Structure 1
Amino acid sequence: MEPNRTRLIGEYIVGPRIGSGSFAVVWRARHRQLGIEVAVKEIDKKLLSPKVSDNLLKEISILSTISHPNIIRFFEAIETREKIYLVLEYCDGGDLAAYIHKHGKVSEAVARHFMRQLGISIFTFWLFIFDQISSAGLQVLQEKHLIHRDLKPQNLLVSTNEVTPVLKIGDFGFARSLTPQDLADTLCGSPLYMAPEIIQNHKYDAKADLWSVGAILFQLVTGKPPFDGSNQLQLFQNILTSTELRFPPGAIEELHPDCVDLCRCLLRQNPVERITFKEFFNHRFLGELR
């Protein structure tokens, strides 16, 4: 590309690169007529295996059917002979991983703010009567029988650089439709946030997402992931051999008992004993719906 030459993707003027992955680069861009800022995910077809290509098609299908303030907005897909471009909502605050790196551990109030956006309905039952209900991100996915399978701070986008921004679930490359009777058996996700049943290659259901939510909550309020290891094998061994969730020194004394309880309920090894979605949505730590 020539220096200072404007690059166009469809109707979008491409700006600086804001992220990259194993087969994709993400650019900040602007619609040349409307001026709307977006994120353009540029995917090189040559780098896509059949499995990754299938995941991409699922991601497009999922995002095109969901419209919700806590789920990243999908505008359109643009395909050329060599590339696929996903035009997505741009979030000025980056992702939750960068937020945690910048702020370290957060207050329980901020953690509660994020957890509410991930999990519970914002309005109470009477708002249903007026068709004004707005469910938080994970609840929308659960009602549509979807499992994300790769919830981690890097896949949770932050709307702005404010202290308490809007959190948006993004990157649905590993998501799939999963009826309550179905179990998945694909090994995927990120090691620090991967549920034990996935690590053990057992069949699993949507409760695997709740383990990931618990790991994110733990990291938010303590500044550290719930488990670590010198390598991936050691990390997995530490997760699978743990009989009790251990907090960093002094953390339990600083945290409210309800916060500690929610962490423990989400990070239970046995998914049968793990908290349910309904119990999560109504947990004391998240407070009463208003």
Structure 2
Amino acid sequence: MVFSPKTPIFVSSTYSDLIPYRNAVRHILSQFSVDIHGMEVFGAQTRKPLDTCLAEVLTSEVFIGILGMRYGSVDEATGKSFVELEYESAQKSGLEIWIFLIDEENTSIPPVYVDCEYAEKLKDFKKRLKKEHTCVIYNSVDDLALRIKSNLEKYFANKVSEPPRSKAFVSAIVSSATIAKGDDFYIAGTATETTYSGVAIWFFGPNFYNHWVVDVRDDDSYIITISSSLTKTMLTGQYFVVVQHPMGNHSYDVMPVISHDSIIVKNSFN
């Protein structure tokens, strides 16, 4: 997931019945360092409305789901509402999810905003949300705004207190899955935050072992070529490559060591 300087937050709800609620939520969000993602800020798009909604979910960090007494617009292909599909997208993407459900017993709801056609779908969706999340019940515009403000304050307080997450990453490919004796081949990939340490390449096979430390270039790429002079000595069989990243302490905590004419693998605690 890509984090922007402002926290991207997607607000999901039905629209016409919850306009005062959405306006209140937008006012609260404007008091924090966030980018608001939602139908009010989409503008003109060539994509279909549902595609636009789901794309905006994927670029968010927090998903705020607000449900009243309407299920909302239904996608013909899936039979699910836009709100439910947005929620499922947020869930699959691992977003922080906050769900707010209207107090059905103590909130004044105009009959025009009570969904009869999709009442069972709405009931099942809410039941699912209650099972998968600790939902917050709200009973007025001001109550919802205060509860969302409380969530935001806690969320940003926790973000400040969290240690920065490492963005270390490593990937690798081999030039060919099958190699003949006497062929050259290469191992290449990307490694971030290696500083001066590079990456270590471990190579194992039938009665075979080798180990190299490879420099990582300024563009975070690395490559090592295994020459024909080595491959022509290798037995037929399956070989394995392990790429080791030095991680946060910038050292290799597992390493090969020559001891009494043998090579042993040991960790930094011996």
TM-score (norm 1): 0.21
TM-score (norm 2): 0.22
